[in-house]
Structure 1
Amino acid sequence: MTGKVYIVGAGPGDPELLTVKALKAIEIADVVLYDRLVGRKIEEMLRNMGKEIIYVGKNSCENGAERQKNINELMVKLAKEGKIVVRLKGGDPFVFGRGGEEIEYLIKNDVPFEVIPGLSSVIAVPTSANIPLTHKGVSSTIFVITGRNLEDIGKSALNGTIVVLMGKERIREICKRLIELGKSPKTPVAVIENGTLDDQKVYYGNLENIGDVVEKNVKGVALIVVGEVVELGRKFNSRRVSFSQTSSQPQ
């Protein structure tokens, strides 16, 4: 008897940001196939739950298409054995997560499935750093790209806020591209390392100098925000520290 595959978004890494529905699927799973961007804390949670877990993350040096083929085949194999499979993906399954490709393969092989949305790092990570992606009078649009497809950065990205996923290694190229398209070299940039986790760090700069900042400091997973909203985030963070230092405790 065929089992079922749950395509589940794990959110940005903090286990507390898993949805209730995602956690329920994990609890009934016989096996969990998880990605690299799911994060260490969620991996530890799975181990503590006694789940059978299989790492299926991709590295930049691997053949992505071949690796994805293996993942697809493994999902089908386990489901055909009658198992409940959770395919756990960082963020949301349909935001640069190949969730659609996996569903196409499950349909082709007559495997029942269900998709459970996750909190995308596109939204969660800037918010955790107190950076509003939209703000009245500052930005009313959001342009989301990955650092792997610089050709997708066109004139439409020049207005509003730009969010770059998986762009740390190519940040200099990204900044150069934006300047060539017409962005001011002084446009504010924030790089959020290990967003939503205990060791989250935020680095500020502009298109002209952020490459140096990242090269010297950033080692973990990073998300990049470009636009005037970054200055709001810097102000909000400075005021948060000030308020926490001076506010009195409730009686």
Structure 2
Amino acid sequence: MSEPNEPAGDELSTDESLGTVYLVGSGPGDPELLTVKATRLLEEADVVLHDKLPGPEILDSIPEDKREDVGKRAGGERTEQADINARLVELAEEGRDVVRLKGGDPFVFGRGGEEMVYLADHDVPFEVVPGITSAVAAPAAADIPVTHREHASSVSFVTGHEDPTKDGSAVDWRALADTGGTIVVLMGVGKLPEYTQELVNAGMDPETPVALIEKGTRPGQRVARGTLDTIVDARDDAGIEPPAVTVIGGVAGVPEVLE
């Protein structure tokens, strides 16, 4: 963590006219799962730059005149990351304290690491405020433990939406299949057919339980269940849409014993 007004790096800024940027995780969407610190910073901030993922109740609690929507949607409207980075520096140089509000945790597939490095490179004071990641919270809200002594002693978090400018996928699905344990995929609704087939091709049992949790912890939460072989049809039948979390492994079948 970089102390407020002390950016990380070899040289610390002594410019007291600079504002501080807080990289804040908003949690999975339920406003009661927002941390006490995040709540305080939202109240105190001069400006809040937010993604699409924080729950609407959280966003509605922020005065409209200090909110800036810099969110992204796969295949839809988006604010380029370079523009977000530049805006954070611009606001801090104006002396304003900024909350950069992200869904879940800022360092779990949230580009918080990129923004932190950019701020440090520009000698802007920052602080990272962790949030509850939906990779754990959404399954929990659906009564799915990501680890369980009888089913999984490890858990792997995977993005289903990689940087499109990369030459290829950095996700080794074969290695994940061999590792065992639970696989949690964030932002993976659209590519569900591809990676479930990759896992089957890598030797994972087609009958492995799978669950899709849409809007986990929020009003309107829905869950579709199936196996690697059937989950795509279950997704289509239920009309599951982003934001949703995919849970693959024996733990996804645990809720069945509760029914």
Q: TM-score, length-normalised on structure 2?
A: 0.86
Higher fraction of helix: 1
1:190 has 2:211 as partner: yes
Q: How far apart are residue 43 of structure 1 and its match? A: 1.2
The 5 A counterparts of 1:56-75 are 56-61=70-75, 67-75=80-88
For each residue in 1:188-220, what CA deviation from the matched residue of structure 2 results, as whole angstroms up to 9, or x when unmatched? 100001100021111110111111111232134
For each residue in 1:14-73, what CA deviation from the matched residue of structure 2 results, as whole angstroms up to 9, or x when unmatched? 1110000111111110110000111322111214xx651000011223798x80100001
Q: What residue is the counterpart of 1:6 in the other structure?
A: 22
2-structure distance, mates of 1:112, 1:35: 21
The 5 A counterparts of 1:2-151 are 2-47=18-63, 52-61=66-75, 67-149=80-162, 151=170
Q: What residue is the counterpart of 2:256 in the other structure?
A: 234
**Aligned-partner SS, 2:200:** helix
Amino acid at match of 2:205: S
Q: How many residues align?
A: 234
Q: Is the 8 A contact 1:5 1:79 kept in 2?
A: yes
Q: Which moved more, 1:209-218 or 1:173-182?
A: 209-218
Q: How far apart are residue 161 of structure 1 and its match? A: 0.5
Q: Is the 8 A contact 2:174 2:198 kept in 1?
A: no
**Aligned-partner SS, 2:225:** strand
Q: What residue is the counterpart of 1:244 in the other structure?
A: none
Q: Is the 8 A contact 1:32 1:51 kept in 2?
A: no
Q: Is the 8 A contact 1:3 1:84 kept in 2?
A: yes
**Aligned-partner SS, 1:37:** coil
**Aligned-partner SS, 1:12:** coil
Q: Is the 8 A contact 2:213 2:223 kept in 1?
A: yes
RMSD: 1.7
**Aligned-partner SS, 2:80:** helix
**Aligned-partner SS, 1:231:** helix
**5+ long unaligned stretches in structure 1:** 239-251
2-structure distance, mates of 1:60, 1:190: 21
1-structure distance, mates of 2:190, 2:76: 16
**Aligned-partner SS, 1:58:** coil
The 5 A counterparts of 1:154-173 are 154-158=173-177, 159-173=180-194
Runs (4+) of structure 1 moved beyond 4 Å? none
1:215 has 2:236 as partner: yes
Q: What residue is the counterpart of 2:3 in the other structure?
A: none
Amino acid at match of 2:173: G
Q: Is the 8 A contact 1:132 1:233 kept in 2?
A: no
**Aligned-partner SS, 1:46:** coil
Q: Which moved more, 1:87-96 or 1:103-112?
A: 103-112
Q: Is the 8 A contact 2:138 2:245 kept in 1?
A: yes
Q: How far apart are residue 151 of structure 1 and its match? A: 4.7
**5+ long unaligned stretches in structure 2:** 1-16, 163-168
Q: Which moved more, 1:178-187 or 1:212-221?
A: 212-221
1-structure distance, mates of 2:141, 2:56: 18
Amino acid at match of 1:203: A
**Aligned-partner SS, 1:26:** helix
Q: TM-score, length-normalised on structure 1?
A: 0.88
2-structure distance, mates of 1:62, 1:188: 31
